[in-house]
Amino acid sequence: MLNEVYYPHKELFKNPAFKNMCEYHDKVREFEKDYEGTWGKLAREKITWFRLYDKVLDESNAPFYKWFTGGKLNVSYQCIDRHLDKKKNKAAIIWEGDNGEKRVITYLELYKEVNKFANLLKEMGVKKGDRVVIYMPMIPEAAFAMLACARIGAIHSVVFGGFSAEALKDRILDAQAKVVITADGAFRKGKPYMLKPVVDKALEGVDIVEKVIVVERNNEDIEWVEGRDVSYNELIQNQSTECEPEVMDSEDPLFLLYTSGSTGKPKGVQHSQAGYILWAQLTMEWVFDIKDNDTYWCTADIGWITGHTYIVYGPLAAGATTVMFEGVLTYPDSGRAWKMIEDYRINQFYTAPTAIRLLNKIGADEPKKYDLSSLRILGTVGEPIDPAAWKWYYDVVGGGRCSIVDTWWQTETGGHMISPLPAATPIKPASATFPLPGIFAEIIDEEGNRVKPGEKGLLCITKPWPSMIRTIWGDPERFVKSYFSTAKKNGKPVYFSGDGAMYDEDGYIWITGRVDDVINVSGHRLGTAEIEAAIKKHPHVAEVAVVGKPDEITGESIFAYVVLKSTDDLGEEVELIKEINEIISKEIGNIAKVKDIAFVPGLPKTRSGKIMRRILRAIAKGEEIKQDTSTLEDPSVVEAIIAVVNSCE
């Protein structure tokens, strides 16, 4: 924990939402005094309602909270139509391809593209409430597809393009999707890669999907299944550029996004219309200080929540210009990101600690070769950032001038929860600082007592907020169990994030990472249970336990302890590791591959059979075992595991 404090360079901010900490505290107090009234006022100001809501917050069926009930709106109207009066020729999306190709889409063009796509979806039989899976590369059509669903009231479920056919199939089935939107493939590092064959594989034996809409991007050969597959490029030609937006209720689902938890299969996090879009827009204004002439770039993939809220919905609801990038930040060289910032005069740059560490490692002085003077705000998200990476970001990328917003939030929270306000908050490197106004994020124990400075506790959000998860698709019980069964405050269950955190003496919040069995590799959330289930599919594996191990670049990497069915297989480790990783790629995707595997004689279990992961985590980190091992069924197994791990290194 570094106790240095960095003050905002006020001259960079003209008319920010919060000029100083007094204004921050005033707003927090306003919410404390009149929670519903303050949210209601913001909702009236920021949302263009077709019909105003009747009630701000309905707590009658907690924790299934409802916001702005009785209200009617359309999120695509909110992101596009209402801007046309003043901004029809403003760039909505600036897209850059892997090879440097560029495309600028104005708000008027976006309006037409989204309407055409919406009409195409209707032609394919998609109706309000139907689920549409989007499995796409980072091309503008991916954003059009999301907004087209929003326009006709279909619920989209974007699946990250790095997920395997099996993972895609699970998500298609869970959501009972009627249509899949995909592309033949796209380009990465100058070479084509494919997506459509993955969809074909995912749909083997699946009969619920009626149509697959294929955007032809890289024009590589693909198979076309007659009657099922249609070409977007052909069918879009004849669509009308007008499509009436569907009138949606505030609480109708807008999208599902699958994410990993500590147990079982990924869960379909369900988000709403009004509450979600309100907070997406507000945080663009509060945290990114988005202004009319700004060019804003978030490097996430639309397959993750960051891409949903901070590439598509938030920036467009705010009427901003959002940059979308198909390629990777290190291609063709380590200056790509800085060149793009220079080219587009980017004002806000938002990325993940993994990318910051990698760019620092491969080109620490590279940013100095470019003109980065347009930058005002640098954002980070997805995992804890370490002070060294933070300092490099601040000094070298930000020229010691920009505010860093270390934004803590989750798929489930819809938008930022804890973050500095760029013109107001004195920043301590690697602290997410304070909860945003309206967000009651607190570090408490299970009974709801605030922990003392320096003590670790559970990071909870003790009041409902508009952009919160509404339920887990098809599994309301799991929703309650996953989020509202760990901690209480004043006897009432509160939302528990799964993260641990602590306060320092000044009340700054320091996130310490997940306290459950979720591993965060390069900012991607992976459940140990999913990875273990994949590894168990190898015929020689008897038992397996997976933990996260600190990694210099990716934050954490995956470490697996594997017990083989027979010791005869020892000696074949290299082959086995390869085979296990092949299974993981097939079942989940390359992002979940294990970095280390130790073939051990047994796992440390309690007498009731529970695996003591804490011990395994400590061994993977090379730490001394401080826990009492006497309660283990077989304490000697710990020594044996340590011996194996030491011999691997």
Distance (Å, rounded) from C-alpha 280 to C-alpha 285? 9
Nearest approach in angstroms of CB 298 to ligand WTA is: 11
Q: Is 29 annotated as a binding residue?
A: no
- Contact residues for ligand WTA, defined by CB under 6 A: 259, 304-306, 381-384, 406-411, 432, 497-499, 511, 513-514, 520, 525
25 annotated to bind ligand: no
Q: How far is the CB of 460 from ligand WTA (least distance, A)?
A: 12
Q: CB of 260: closest distance to ligand WTA in angstroms? A: 8
Q: How far, CA to CA in Å, does 376 sit from each of 269, 328, 404, 431, 626? A: 33, 23, 9, 19, 45
368 assigned to a ligand binding site: no
Residue for token digits 């003077």? 373
- We find the least distance from the C-beta atom of residue 96 to ligand WTA, in angstroms, to be 23
- CB neighbour class for 568 (10 Å; exposed up to 12, middle 13-18, buried from 19): exposed
**Per-residue tokens: 306:** 């960051």
In whole angstroms, give the CA distance from residue 166 to residue 608: 33
**411 labelled binding-site residue:** yes
CB 348, min distance to ligand WTA, A = 16
Answer yes or no: is 185 a known binding residue. no
Residue 510 labelled as part of a binding site: no
How far is it, in rounded angstroms, from Cα 198 to Cα 180? 12
462 among the known binding-site residues? no
The CA angle 79-323-383, to the nearest 5 degrees, is: 95
Residue closer to ligand WTA (CB basis): 363 or 382: 382
* CA 273/CA 285 separation, integer angstroms: 19
Please check if 322 is assigned to a binding site: no
**At closest approach, how far in Å is the CB of 412 from ligand WTA?**
7
User: Is 390 labelled a binding residue?
Assistant: no
Beta carbon nearer to ligand WTA, 525 or 538: 525
383 marked among binding-site residues? yes
Q: Least Å distance between CB 407 and ligand WTA?
A: 5
User: Is the CB of 153 or the CB of 253 nearer to ligand WTA?
Assistant: 253
What's the farthest any 2 CA atoms get from each other in the chain? Answer: 73
Token reading at 57: 């917050």
Minimum gap (Å) between residue 294 Cβ and ligand WTA: 22
463 contacts: CB under 8 Å, gap ≥ 6: 35, 440
Of the pair 384, 429, the CB lying nearest ligand WTA is at 384
Is residue 67 part of an annotated ligand binding site? no
Cβ-based nearer residue to ligand WTA, 421 or 642: 421
Q: CB of 354: closest distance to ligand WTA in angstroms? A: 12
Calculate the alpha carbon distances from 94 to 26, 105, 188, 298, 452 in Å.
37, 6, 18, 12, 47
Residue 470 in marked binding region: no
Residues in Cβ contact with 68 at an 8 Å cutoff, skipping those fewer than 6 apart: 43, 53, 55, 56, 250, 251, 274, 275, 278, 466
Q: Supply the DSSP symbol for 224.
A: -
Q: How far is the CB of 524 from ligand WTA (least distance, A)?
A: 7
Residue 154 per-residue DSSP state:
P
Q: Are 588 and 167 in contact (CB under 8 A)?
A: yes
By CB neighbour count within 10 A (0-12 exposed, 13-18 middle, 19+ buried), where does 294 fall? Answer: buried
Query: On the CB side of 63, how many CA atoms lie within 13 Å of its CA?
Result: 27
Report how far residue 334's alpha carbon sits from residue 546's, in angstroms, rounded to the nearest whole number.
33
By DSSP bridging, strand 348-351 and strand 321-325 are unpaired
Residue whose CB is nearest to ligand WTA in the complex, by number: 411
Distance CA 198, CA 195 (A): 5
Q: Is 78 annotated as a binding residue?
A: no
How many residues comprise the chain?
649
Q: Which is nearer to ligand WTA, 114 or 526 (CB)?
A: 526
Find out whether 579 is annotated in a ligand binding site: no
Give Cβ neighbours of residue 633 (< 8 Å, ≥ 6 apart): 605, 606, 607, 609
Structure tokens at 291: 């202004």
In whole angstroms, the minimum distance from the beta carbon of 392 to ligand WTA comes to: 17
Q: How far apart are CA 260 and CA 472, in angstroms?
A: 12
Residue 259: which residues within 8 A CB-CB, separation 6 or more? 266, 267, 269, 305, 411, 412, 525
Is 377 in a helix, a strand, or coil?
Answer: strand
- Check: CB of residue 603 under 8 Å from CB of residue 614: no
Nearer to ligand WTA, 376 or 525 (CB): 525
514 is in an annotated binding site: yes
CB 274 → ligand WTA: shortest distance, Å? 21
Tokens 């009785």 correspond to 70
Nearer to ligand WTA, 71 or 307 (CB): 307
Q: How far apart are the C-alpha atoms of 246 and 72, rounded to whole Å?
A: 10
- Residue among 283 and 334 whose Cβ is closer to ligand WTA: 283
Complex with ligand WTA: residue 200 or 406, whichever CB lies closer: 406
Least distance from ligand WTA to the Cβ atom of residue 497, Å? 6
189 assigned to a ligand binding site: yes
Percent helix, strand, coil in the chain, to 5, is 35, 25, 40
CB nearer to ligand WTA: pick between 73 and 418: 418
C-alpha to C-alpha distance for 229 and 645, rounded to whole angstroms: 50
- Bridge partner residues of 589 (DSSP): 163
Cβ nearer to ligand WTA, comparing 175 with 300:
300
Name the nearest CA neighbour of 418 among 428, 429, 431. Answer: 431
Instruction: Report whether 540 belongs to an annotated binding site.
Output: no
Pick between residue 497 and residue 554 the one whose CB is nearest to ligand WTA: 497
The response to whether 190 counts as a known ligand-binding position is: yes
Closer Cβ to ligand WTA, 294 or 383, answer by number = 383
> What is the closest distance, in whole angstroms, from the C-beta atom of residue 26 to ligand WTA in the complex?
25
Binding residues for ATP: 382-384, 406-411, 499, 514, 525
Binding residues for CoA: 188-191, 306, 522
Binding residues: 188-191, 306, 382-384, 406-411, 499, 514, 522, 525, 538, 541
Binding residues for Mg(2+): 538, 541
